[in-house]
Structure 1
């Protein structure tokens, strides 16, 4: 894998062409070789001068992803990308999105990170388009390969600053070493108190689907709510967690804040739970009809966050959910 290959592959995709199946398998297996070595929670320490861009759901919106990458820049020695799940489904270029992301993972394994989302799962892929798209473009065995490799994606990433905060903030929750660190996960927190970072790190994920309950399910499916405590999920899977739940969990684990995705936000991001929980969503004008902006978050080596917004980019005349069973359906999941 080379950067030149990735650029030529992107041009190939923009011309509406499919990669030869042998190349697809090589890219997926090349990325898998690195995912398989990572724990269920990856530790990403931002050395002096290194930044990390956290990217939310992109949902198969390939042309928006290319615009996004033009804003973030490619991974390099001083810059990391962290894609926080839901790369596929809904948008009709999910294959192009996932192959581009996996190619970067293969080329820059310590600078490109991908968390699993609730849509990197068989039941969602069957309903929301990725299974149909993968089979249409590359055959059933290729879809099965993707389905397995999705189970090797880490479930969360702990992004840690290595420098002390530039401006002391007595109210901030810091690591035991006095540094800022952010827990990046697709969905959110848990149906019970007391879950530790070590509990997450030890989750056996490979070969497994998220299911309807348990830590893996909740990491990928839960949402924040404004009310204190916990409530039922509007999705029917997972729970909703309040600001008091977030503060207790962050305090227990020495986490400065949670960065999660999983939900559309009109401005591309929203700072919630008294600043302890931020939602970032990176699919602008979601499914060609919501009208939202996209966003990403940049974190530097002192733990400072900056927020960047962007608008949707024109794309060829292909409707969302083109390969899904029953066509365009509910936006909620």
Structure 2
């Protein structure tokens, strides 16, 4: 699978959603100058009932998200006080009803109950718009209740193949899709929690030796995902059981061994690496002498794998991982990549 780079756009600076009227018949909560808790909760329920938000609000959320996210560093830091916690989730891949199950099990996002979602919000599952709009709306309502890092599927090339483009154009339009691409380019690449835990989507299979957290923070991320380099490795690399670096079966970046994990963490004063990017039957896997955890939060991936989903809660007092596993939730009868197959059938 190739990771193809692309050009960045600034459609958020050009689009004027204020000329769009919201019809009196629209039965959702109206969006004012700020995103209120009432708006977010109404949107969550609309999506649950297979309704959309108005296209004006879709554009407004994405423009607001672009303005917020582009001011974040490529690597940002979170401090969790001793009496607080944070929950880290892996890939959700458009499985909106499983996202709701996470919130049922762990509570809705709030300043007192913050979440970090570690990329791959979209593609494959046919409710990708619902997933990413929900996460962005929480982030805009309160930036301290929702943190987001980019995955390899927050990418124009993969979105064209695995369903998100077709879904977005069908549910909204091409301008909304272009706004999403800009938002994806602004998503940070990594997060450090309490100076101990590094969270990023893929891994640390860096070709260059001696990469530091400062190097990651300095990445010019505001573009589609390149074919090589630090940004590509962060989003595409995978761990392996053998020491050293090796070729990645994905055809992009590399695989890295337990020795690579240990050296990177020790050199950067860290204790643990959290990554996602790979389906795990238990929803998570601990390896590299307990220094690396893969977390995956899309149960019964693609309606066929039969895996559990999982998430991790860290208490600020000790920053030890506490796992919750869960099974998939029922969802409306739209299979994986439904909109791609629908488009294909229309063209045949």
TM over 0.5: yes
RMSD (Å), alpha carbons: 1.4
Q: Could you tell me how far apart the structure 2 residues matched to 1:23 and 1:110 are?
A: 22
2:286 touches 2:292 (CA, 8 Å); kept in 1?
Answer: yes
Query: How far did residue 78 of structure 1 move?
Result: 2.4
Query: How far did residue 140 of structure 1 move?
Result: 0.6
Task: Provide, for residues 153-178 of structure 1, a one-character-per-residue CA deviation record: whole Å limited to 9, x for no partner.
Answer: 00001011xxxxxxxxxxxxxx6xxx
1:225 touches 1:242 (CA, 8 Å); kept in 2?
Answer: yes
Instruction: Check if 1:313 corresponds to 2:329.
Output: yes
Selected match of 2:119 from 78, 85, 88 = 85
Q: Could you tell me how far apart the structure 2 residues matched to 1:114 and 1:104 are?
A: 11
Instruction: Check if 1:324 corresponds to 2:314.
Output: no
Q: Could you tell me how far apart the structure 2 residues matched to 1:326 and 1:249 are?
A: 45
Secondary structure of 1:258's aligned partner: strand
2:66 touches 2:182 (CA, 8 Å); kept in 1?
Answer: no
Query: How far did residue 3 of structure 1 move?
Result: 1.5
Secondary structure of 1:282's aligned partner: coil
Q: Could you tell me how far apart the structure 1 residues matched to 2:151 and 2:73 are?
A: 16
Name 2:236's counterpart in structure 1.
221
1:193 touches 1:245 (CA, 8 Å); kept in 2?
Answer: no
Secondary structure of 1:151's aligned partner: helix
Query: How far did residue 30 of structure 1 move?
Result: 2.2
Name 1:274's counterpart in structure 2.
289
Name 2:207's counterpart in structure 1.
191
Selected match of 2:269 from 248, 254, 278 = 254
2:110 touches 2:144 (CA, 8 Å); kept in 1?
Answer: no
Query: How far did residue 2 of structure 1 move?
Result: 1.4
Which residues in structure 2 correspond to 1:140-155 (within 5 Å)? 140-155=174-189
Task: Provide, for residues 181-224 of structure 1, a one-character-per-residue CA deviation record: whole Å limited to 9, x for no partner.
Answer: 10000000022320000000010111x11111000000000000
Q: Could you tell me how far apart the structure 1 residues matched to 2:296 and 2:111 are?
A: 25
Secondary structure of 2:79's aligned partner: strand
Q: Could you tell me how far apart the structure 2 residues matched to 1:141 and 1:285 are?
A: 32
Task: Provide, for residues 213-264 of structure 1, a one-character-per-residue CA deviation record: whole Å limited to 9, x for no partner.
Answer: 0000000000000001011001000100000000010010011010000000
Name 2:138's counterpart in structure 1.
104
Which residues in structure 2 correspond to 1:15-94 (within 5 Å)? 15-94=49-128
Name 2:4's counterpart in structure 1.
none
Secondary structure of 1:131's aligned partner: helix
Name 2:14's counterpart in structure 1.
none
TM-score by length of 1: 0.90
Selected match of 2:246 from 206, 226, 231 = 231
Name 1:165's counterpart in structure 2.
none
Query: How far did residue 325 of structure 1 move?
Result: 6.4
Selected match of 1:290 from 284, 289, 305 = 305
Closer, same or farther in 2 for the Cα pair 1:25/1:327, shift >3 Å? closer
Which consecutive unaligned segments of at least 5 residues does structure 1 have? 161-174, 176-180, 329-333
1:222 touches 1:239 (CA, 8 Å); kept in 2?
Answer: yes
1:193 touches 1:249 (CA, 8 Å); kept in 2?
Answer: no
Selected match of 1:243 from 255, 258, 267 = 258
Q: After the TM superposition, which parts of structure 1 deviate over 4 Å for at least 4 consecutive aligned residues? A: 325-328
Name 2:278's counterpart in structure 1.
263
Q: Could you tell me how far apart the structure 2 residues matched to 1:27 and 1:135 are?
A: 16
Q: Could you tell me how far apart the structure 2 residues matched to 1:17 and 1:69 are?
A: 20
Secondary structure of 1:278's aligned partner: strand
Q: Could you tell me how far apart the structure 2 residues matched to 1:251 and 1:134 are?
A: 43
Which residues in structure 2 correspond to 1:126-141 (within 5 Å)? 126-141=160-175
TM-score by length of 2: 0.86
**Paired residues, number:** 308
